[in-house]
Structure 1
Amino acid sequence: MHDAGSLGTILGVWAHPDDEVFLSAGLMAAARDAGQRVVVVTATLGERGTTDSTRWPPERLGRLRGLELAASLAAIGVTEHRHLGHPDGSLARQHQLQAIDELAGIVEQVQPDTIVTFGPDGLTGHEDHQTVSAWASTARAASAPRARLLFATTTESFVRRWAHVHDRLDVFLADGLPLRTPDADVALALNLSGADADRKLVALRAHASQTAGMLATIGEDTLREWWSVETFLDADRTPLPQRRGADAGAAAGPAWGTWQLVG
């Protein structure tokens, strides 16, 4: 990307703290460096994102992850954040019209030129991610139909290069993921190196409750390189597989698997 200013005001809509940094930290930092406004919306605090619920009960982990998010956003120059306040792992079971209406209100207030979120696959197959994608798409149609809608995606080259990491870390939660998006279909790509990659690494490390284990397993250099390329699809120009819902027909596309929290 050579002109971050062309994206105008950016609104990122995500499910949990750390989604925004893994998938769009470089994009947000470039936009902020160009003087653009960036607003991040997080649906939950990710308060159930632990394998040790005794040490990290939801209330405590939610507080911690909120602080981690603030530190991570500060590292990339983002100062505006909105939290929707939904329980982690529950988005598909929330009152959908109310949730979309709340998000549409934020979209109307911000009036973004560009909205960035997950594609219908949820990128990892996480049900919260898939639900946020649907909310963001519907809210955009209602409140900012002229805004560009970008879906974070993964490419064929990404999947090939990092297969050894994906085999070690349980990141992608459904058959058919990660997506192997052809490079020709990518609408926007950022290749981070040098100081830009280091800045993203700092933002990733700020989410220590989620990234410390990755760092211990794969090392800092690998984590830095793994997400050093950010790729996005233009939702209006590229045919996308659709999540199968209660009102979707049999030809809607693959039924993306979902990840359900336990306990």
Structure 2
Amino acid sequence: MRNLKITIRALSILLPVLLFQCNTTNKEASINKEEIGSVEGKTVMAIFAHPDDEMTVAPILSKYAREGAKVYLVICTDGRYGTNDFSGIEAGEGLVAIRKEEMKCAANTLGVELIHLNYHDQLKSGEGYDGHVPHAQALITELYEIVTDKKPDALITWGPDGGTTHMDHRLVGASVTQVFVSKLWEKPTELFYVGTPSKLIDSLGDKILRGVDDKYLNTRIKYTKEDSEKALASLKCHKSQMSPQGLIWITEYQKKFGMEMYLRQFIAPKNIKNSIFN
């Protein structure tokens, strides 16, 4: 987030994802809902790009940790380019150190175990092919090793839109997807993408860039006021990124919405086809 304007824009994008609640018709009610049951012994892994990206799913991370699941939060980049007008902190190693501490604070608040990797923001895209591609390939390999080691029951990451079309978001989402499809995992693992309902986006251009039709948002998860409050508390840890005005705005905005989150599950094919039609 480079300035206050971008911070507010990012909040306006993530809030519908965090707080979306709609009046369902009977047809909409047929969307698969999360089965109610014990999550003890289950492992959830959320994988995102930057320190503070986790706020997109913070309420359900709190929910599953509270209900007894083991929750890992993997943050891939160091946040070195997360400058803005209100903090006055320059890009670089000093900001990296600050954001690592902020990320620890947020993870502790949510009750999740943090795995913070050390990849550069933008995955060294400014260094051209020879800088970026090895860096991006190393990320995929390390994520594969983490998933192999931790054996999550569910993975959560960015979809192809990346929430804001941010290149790091999209690359991380694509990297997690590649890890997921690279083999049939011994432990059944499900992959879920964060999505913003198209119906909550006014601009046609933004609908195209980052909207997801309700039909595809096939997983609906309710969370509690306690989870919502923990999410807001964790957001306050990111002092270098979240202005006081932004915190006030998100707190007031949250009061207008119910506590339900929509995700899009990656659905693997069940049959072999011999045509691209039907």
Cα pair distance change 1:108/1:144, threshold 3 Å? farther
Cα pair distance change 1:149/1:56, threshold 3 Å? same
Whether 1:195 and 2:226 are equivalent positions in the alignment is yes
Q: Partners in 1 of 2:121 and 2:38 — Cα distance?
A: 32
- Counterpart residue type for residue 46 of structure 1: G
1:59 to 67, 82, 93: 93
Q: Partners in 1 of 2:144 and 2:60 — Cα distance?
A: 23
Q: Partners in 1 of 2:106 and 2:190 — Cα distance?
A: 25
1:35 to 28, 53, 68: 68
Q: Aligned-residue CA RMSD in angstroms?
A: 2.9
Instruction: Say how many residue pairs are matched.
Output: 224
Cα pair distance change 1:144/1:34, threshold 3 Å? farther
Unaligned runs of 5+ in 1: 164-172, 239-263
Cα pair distance change 1:225/1:24, threshold 3 Å? farther
- Counterpart residue type for residue 181 of structure 2: A
Secondary structure of the corresponding residue to residue 43 of structure 1 = strand
- Counterpart residue type for residue 198 of structure 2: E
* 1:140 to partner: Cα distance: 1.9
TM-score for both structures, normalised by structure 2: 0.70
Cα pair distance change 1:102/1:133, threshold 3 Å? same
Counterpart in the other structure of 1:155: 197
1:25-75 deviations in whole A, cap 9, x for unaligned? 111111111211111111112121113596333211111111111111111
Q: Partners in 1 of 2:96 and 2:232 — Cα distance?
A: 22
1:135 to 175, 194, 200: 175
Aligned partners of 1:104 and 1:142 also within 8 Å: no
1:50-108 deviations in whole A, cap 9, x for unaligned? 13596333211111111111111111111x22222111122662423332111100110
Unaligned runs of 5+ in 2: 1-33, 126-131, 270-278
Cα pair distance change 1:130/1:51, threshold 3 Å? same
Which is greater in Rg?
Answer: 2
1:104 to 117, 126, 144: 144
| Larger CA deviation: 44-53 vs 1-10 | 1-10
* 1:181 to partner: Cα distance: 2.3
Secondary structure of the corresponding residue to residue 38 of structure 1 = strand
Counterpart in the other structure of 1:123: 163
Q: Partners in 1 of 2:252 and 2:72 — Cα distance?
A: 29
Cα pair distance change 1:216/1:195, threshold 3 Å? closer
Name the structure, 1 or 2, with higher relative contact order (CA <8 Å, separation 6+).
2
Secondary structure of the corresponding residue to residue 149 of structure 1 = strand
* 1:174 to partner: Cα distance: 6.4
Counterpart in the other structure of 2:253: 222
- Correspondences of 1:1-263 after superposition (within 5 Å): 1=34, 2-3=36-37, 5=39, 8-21=42-55, 23-51=56-84, 55-78=89-112, 80-90=113-123, 93-95=132-134, 96-142=136-182, 145=185, 146-159=188-201, 176-182=208-214, 184-192=215-223, 194-212=225-243, 215=246, 218=249, 220-222=251-253, 229-236=260-267
Q: Partners in 1 of 2:160 and 2:96 — Cα distance?
A: 26
| Larger CA deviation: 29-38 vs 109-118 | 29-38
Counterpart in the other structure of 1:167: none
| Larger CA deviation: 201-210 vs 49-58 | 49-58
Cα pair distance change 1:25/1:4, threshold 3 Å? farther
Cα pair distance change 1:24/1:191, threshold 3 Å? same
Cα pair distance change 1:174/1:200, threshold 3 Å? same
Aligned partners of 1:159 and 1:180 also within 8 Å: no
- Counterpart residue type for residue 190 of structure 2: R
Counterpart in the other structure of 1:251: none
Q: Partners in 1 of 2:148 and 2:118 — Cα distance?
A: 19
Aligned partners of 2:40 and 2:67 also within 8 Å: no
Aligned partners of 2:60 and 2:223 also within 8 Å: no
| Larger CA deviation: 133-142 vs 84-93 | 84-93
Cα pair distance change 1:55/1:84, threshold 3 Å? closer
Cα pair distance change 1:141/1:91, threshold 3 Å? farther
